[in-house]
Amino acid sequence: MNPEIIERLRAIVGPEFVADKDYDLIAYARAWSYEGPRLPEAIVVPGSAEEVSEIMRLAGRTGTPVTVRAGGTTTTGMALPRQGGIVLDLNRMDRIYGIDEDAMAVSMQSGVTVYRLIKYIERRGFKIPWLPEFGGGVTIGGWTAFNGVGAGGSVYGRVGDFIVGLQVVLPTGEIVRTGSASFKGAKQFARYLGTGPDLTGLYLNSLGVSGVITEVTMRVYPIPEALGWVSFGFETPEEAQEGIKKLVRANIAYGITCVDDEMFKTIRLPPPAPWVVQFFAEGWKPEVDFRVRKAREIIAGAGFGKELPQNTPRILWGGARGTSLRSKPPRRYMCVGCFHPLDATAAVFNVYNAVGRKYNLRRGMLWWTCQTYANAFPVYVYDELADGPELAARAARECREGWGAVGAVPDYPGPDPDCTEDIAPEYLGLWKRIKEALDPYHIMHRGQSPVIER
Amino acid sequence: MAFERLEKYREIIWNDQACGVCQRGPWNPYRPFGPTSDRLCPEYEKFRTITHSAQGRIQAARWLLEGKLPVSDDFVKVTYDCLLCGACSTVGCVVDQAHVPMFRDLRADLVAMGKGPIEPFRKTGSLIRREGNRFGRPKEERAKWAEGMDISPKADLVYFAGCVASYRAPEVARSTATVLIRAGVPFAILGAEEWCCGQPLLSSGQVEAFASVAEHNVRAFRNAGARRVVTACGCCYHTLKFDYPPITGDTGFEVLHITQILADLIGNGGLRPKQSFDHRVAYQDPCHLARLGSRITAEPRAILKSVPGIELVEMEGNGKDTQCCGRFPVELPDLSLYTGINRIRDARAAGADTLVTACSFCHWNLTRAGGNVKESLKVMDITQILAHSLGCGPELPPLEERRR
């Protein structure tokens, strides 16, 4: 990178927060994904939105690509630069501004980890909408840019469904607030306003291409009196799908998750059934008891599936991560995911298994509902020393193709950055015009979504 | 082969997930509300780039093994910025417990290539080689702390004071010896034959020098008739117990930490603390006692709970999830001070007015850190409190005088 740009970056954030030695670039060349190494030219670690703004203006003036990175845990490789330039590491922006207990909203800089946020609000009697299932140093900003999903999604949906508003720095350097705080003097208490479209949505699932999320205000909820659960075993994907559909239709779940026997084997636990559906309910104790009882009645009356013992391990994303990564011999694992309607559940499960069997990959299905649709998020385990990252990328691509054929849509682009061959051209045209307006200098995550890039 | 030691970790290095847990955690997503700290890696907390974390170091290791990363002076310096506290090894990633040995082996490869260690470690190494201690003080002054105590040179149990207690904090060596005497436990010391345990050498990759001091000390223990060796320093304990046998073979003696002996004595009535110590006390679990190989966490707390008047409070980050004290005040002074100050603040946040530890290095670093923050906090070794409670320690000076 031009030494002049480096010097100006140092002047903006302080010399200790700009790194451009070869070993620095290598440290940022991988993230939690099966993407091979992609080197930046410099790493900048800003401490405030104002610093981010100055960096963006400099990048715009000099045509320098900017890739935003927080925890680096999207498993998609979106934290990796595709055309060099600056990696903007947001981890130093980790202040929690405070909680508004009446509005039930907490505001913080985007580099706050989910773990730290949970500790902070728990002490004040609040919880994040989901169960704490996440891996690594996930940050609120990354969660928002990815529009994450997890157990608890039956009620609360995805991250975007409980975001109140954002502060973002545009690729051109302007600092903008979305939500009610876009009005002068108004608090950040409401997402949707009567004055135009919801601009917060430009940043959900944006994966960095729309600008930099620097502050997040998120809805939180009082810790419920009770959390209850019950697990059901099913013999086939088709039975699991029908059982899940009945539970969703009853509208009683806080979360519904599904794992398979392959996941149990991968983390070295005896599988209690080929397909294990976990039903969660939260709320007041009598309410939870009622919902769990109702779930039992529904599956008992279905004519297939069986209730599993209460001590059946509950395997969620974070737990699976923790255990499978400790595998010996050491192995990496990669994730590939899709969103799908409930009636495609069995087909999605079958595609994942067929690809796993084809490449003889240890694997495990992770799956949960998002309100009335679902997110499948299976893992494949591979040996990067023997196989390189290419095998995992190939498996991911085949999974995505198979899922597309049964009506699923990708939950992130995966190894093919544009992921646009199946998107309607009118939609792409609109998105391209928006992108052009947001990022006229074409600096954000350059190369990540070529079809919408100039 | 340029990186002969690092080569052992090739499979781990290639399969490292680059998942980031070694920087900021979480320690455990299903136990987010337990007594774990917001912080994980002290080095990352200070420098705030992935370069300064296990992930960055492992990625660099891969490029080294591929021959694609030149070994520059700057890279060597960064390699030595890690405190080797092992916090990264608690997060349950594919690297499992291999972080600390891997990073030590990387340093040993750098030394073998003539690229390491960095100057402060080299200087410490030469002082140890010259005088047998990390301060370069005369060998014959090593047991000055024991003057007037009439301690035997031979016994079944040998007390290994370590460099810090011998030269810099003799009050800790004296209080340790005093409580053993009060308990009627016969013990010996090695005097001038006690050399540094060698931990600074091993940590910095000076493995040949480490082997030399290990062999010397084991010989000295054997000459003193040791069947058991006890130390009050967490670092020394770990080194003698876990790092000597691979070098010297079976040492022929058991290695104990003083808190194990004292907790036993208190448990069976051999010691009865009586004098009150009316303070809110937080206990700093030394990494080398609580995380890196051992789990000596209950014994120190049992001792503290036996002392009348103590209200024991827990800091965020304790047991195996402890936060490092800073460890290398001479070799990595800035990082060490930064880390120590964070720990002082943890103790204050827990409501403690006294921070107690069971390791000479923790005592040293935390005392130094305590002198650099506004909050007043006593930093003490656990044997000092016990000696006081047994009525055989010196009168404790008032709070202000203890700050340095």
Kindly report, residue by residue over A204-225, the tens digit of the pLDDT: 988 889 999 999 999 999 999 9
DSSP B129-156: HHHSSTT---GGGTTGGGTTS--BS--S
Q: How far apart are CA A226 and CA B14, in angstroms?
A: 43
Residues B146 and B40 in one domain: no
**pLDDT tens-place values along chain A, 454 residues long:** 999 999 999 999 999 999 999 999 999 999 988 888 999 999 999 999 999 999 999 999 999 999 999 988 877 788 999 999 999 999 999 999 999 999 999 999 999 988 888 889 988 999 998 876 555 678 999 989 988 887 788 889 999 999 999 999 999 999 999 999 999 999 999 999 988 899 999 999 888 899 999 999 999 999 999 999 999 999 999 999 999 999 999 999 999 999 999 988 888 889 999 999 999 999 999 999 999 999 999 999 999 999 999 988 877 765 555 544 566 788 888 888 899 999 999 999 999 999 999 999 989 998 999 999 999 989 888 999 998 888 888 888 899 889 999 999 988 655 455 566 678 889 888 989 999 999 999 999 998 888 788 7
Query: For position B399, what pLDDT does the model report?
Result: 42
Residue-wise burial string across A47-74, b where 16 or more C-beta atoms lie within 10 A, e elsewhere: bbbebbbbbbbbbbebebbbbbbbbbbb
Residues B34 and B54 in one domain: yes
Contact A91 B24 (CB under 8 A): yes
Q: What's the fold here for domain A93-222?
A: 3.30.465
Distance in Å, alpha carbon of B29 to nearest chain A alpha carbon: 6
Picking from B22, B46, B50 by the largest number of A CB atoms within 10 A of its own CB, the best residue to mutate is B50
Count CB pairs under 8 A between chains A and B.
Answer: 151
- Nearest residue of A to residue B77 by CA position? A23
Helices B170-182, B258-267: inter-axial angle, 10-degree rounding? 30
Helices B382-389, B258-267: inter-axial angle, 10-degree rounding? 30
Distance in Å, alpha carbon of B14 to nearest chain A alpha carbon: 5
User: A-chain residues within 8 Å CB-CB of B59?
Assistant: 26-27, 29-30
User: B-chain residues within 8 Å CB-CB of A330?
Assistant: 11-12, 15-16, 94-96
Query: For position B241, what pLDDT does the model report?
Result: 98
Task: State both tokens at A340.
Answer: 């799908």
CB A253 within 8 A of CB A239: no
Contact A45 B15 (CB under 8 A): no
Contact B29 A26 (CB under 8 A): no
Q: What is the pTM of this model?
A: 0.94
User: A-chain residues within 8 Å CB-CB of B21?
Assistant: 135-137
Residue B331 φ then ψ, to 5°: -80, -35
Distance in Å, alpha carbon of B364 to nearest chain A alpha carbon: 28
Number of domains in chain B: 3
- Nearest residue of B to residue A136 by CA position? B21
CB A402 within 8 A of CB A338: no
Q: Is B29 on the interface with A (CB under 8 A)?
A: yes
Q: Which of B71, B95, B112 is the last residue of a domain?
A: B112
Asked if the structure places residue B118 within a domain, the reply is: no
Asked if the structure places residue B285 within a domain, the reply is: yes
Distance in Å, alpha carbon of B112 to nearest chain A alpha carbon: 21
Q: How far apart are CA A254 and CA A250, in angstroms?
A: 12
CB nearest to B10's CB, from A45, A92, A385: A385
Q: Which domain holds residue B217?
A: 138-263
Contact A26 B56 (CB under 8 A): yes
Residues B284 and B397 in one domain: yes
Mean pLDDT of chain A: 91
Asked if the structure places residue B98 within a domain, the reply is: yes
Q: Which of B217, B243, B263 is the last residue of a domain?
A: B263
Residues B240 and B142 in one domain: yes
Query: For position A319, what pLDDT does the model report?
Result: 53
Contact B18 A32 (CB under 8 A): yes
Task: State both tokens at A159.
Answer: 């991250």
- Nearest residue of B to residue A74 by CA position? B19
Q: What's the fold here for domain A226-410?
A: Vanillyl-alcohol Oxidase; Chain A, domain 3 (3.40.462)
Query: For position B103, what pLDDT does the model report?
Result: 98
User: B-chain residues within 8 Å CB-CB of A380?
Assistant: none
Contact B93 A326 (CB under 8 A): yes
Collapsing DSSP to helix, strand or coil, A166 comes out as: strand
CB nearest to B29's CB, from A26, A28, A318: A318
Picking from A26, A73, A117, A119 by the largest number of B CB atoms within 10 A of its own CB, the best residue to mutate is A26
Q: In 3D, which of A269, A407, A412, A388 has the Cα closest to residue A335? A: A412
Q: What percentage of chain A has pLDDT greater than the value 90? A: 69
The CATH number for B386's domain is 3.40.50.11810
The CATH number for B198's domain is 3.40.50.1860
Considering only CA atoms, give the Rg of chain B: 21
Query: For position A172, what pLDDT does the model report?
Result: 98
Contact A119 B69 (CB under 8 A): no
Q: Is B19 on the interface with A (CB under 8 A)?
A: yes
- Where does residue A35 rank: exposed (0-12), middle (13-18), buried (19+ CB within 10 A)? buried
> What architecture is the A3-91 domain classified under in CATH?
2-Layer Sandwich (3.30)
> What are the structural domain ranges in chain A?
3-91, 93-222, 226-410
Q: Is B53 on the interface with A (CB under 8 A)?
A: yes
Q: E-strand spans in B201-300?
A: 228-231, 254-257, 280-284
Residues B249 and B330 in one domain: no
User: B-chain residues within 8 Å CB-CB of A115?
Assistant: 24-27, 29, 32, 38
Residues B239 and B328 in one domain: no
Query: For position B398, what pLDDT does the model report?
Result: 47
Residues B209 and B305 in one domain: no
Q: Which residues share a beta bridge with A54?
A: none
Q: Which residues, at least 6 apart from A393, have a Cβ–Cβ distance to it below 8 Å?
A: A34, A35, A334, A415
Distance in Å, alpha carbon of B48 to nearest chain A alpha carbon: 7
Asked if the structure places residue B206 within a domain, the reply is: yes
User: A-chain residues within 8 Å CB-CB of B11?
Assistant: 329-330, 383, 385
User: What is the helix (H) or strand (E) element at residue B400, kind and residue range?
Assistant: helix B399-402
Helices A237-250, A285-300: inter-axial angle, 10-degree rounding? 140
Q: Which residues, at least 6 apart from A312, have a Cβ–Cβ distance to it below 8 Å?
A: A231, A272, A276
Asked if the structure places residue B124 within a domain, the reply is: no
Residues B152 and B73 in one domain: no
CB nearest to A325's CB, from B17, B33, B59: B17
Kindly report, residue by residue over B304-335, the tens digit of the pLDDT: 999 999 999 999 999 999 999 999 999 999 99
Distance in Å, alpha carbon of B348 to nearest chain A alpha carbon: 18
Which DSSP letter does residue B241 get? I
Asked if the structure places residue B350 within a domain, the reply is: yes
Query: For position A32, what pLDDT does the model report?
Result: 86
Residues B396 and B277 in one domain: yes
Q: How far apart are CA B26 and CA B15, in angstroms?
A: 20
Asked if the structure places residue B129 within a domain, the reply is: no
CB nearest to B20's CB, from A23, A72, A118: A72
**pLDDT tens-place values along chain B, 404 residues long:** 689 999 999 999 999 988 888 998 765 555 544 557 888 999 999 999 999 999 999 999 999 999 999 999 999 999 999 999 999 988 878 888 899 999 999 999 999 999 999 999 999 999 999 999 999 999 999 999 999 998 999 999 999 999 999 999 999 999 999 999 999 999 999 999 999 999 999 999 999 999 999 999 999 999 999 999 999 999 999 999 999 999 999 999 999 999 999 999 999 999 999 999 999 999 999 999 999 989 999 999 999 999 999 999 999 999 999 999 999 999 999 999 999 999 999 999 999 999 999 999 999 999 999 988 877 799 999 999 999 999 987 655 444 443 33
Residues B176 and B277 in one domain: no
Q: How far apart are CA B361 and CA B101, in angstroms?
A: 20
Distance in Å, alpha carbon of B106 to nearest chain A alpha carbon: 15
Query: For position B403, what pLDDT does the model report?
Result: 39
Which DSSP letter does residue A40 get? -
CB A158 within 8 A of CB A148: yes
- Nearest residue of B to residue A113 by CA position? B24
Residues B145 and B256 in one domain: yes
Distance in Å, alpha carbon of B244 to nearest chain A alpha carbon: 27
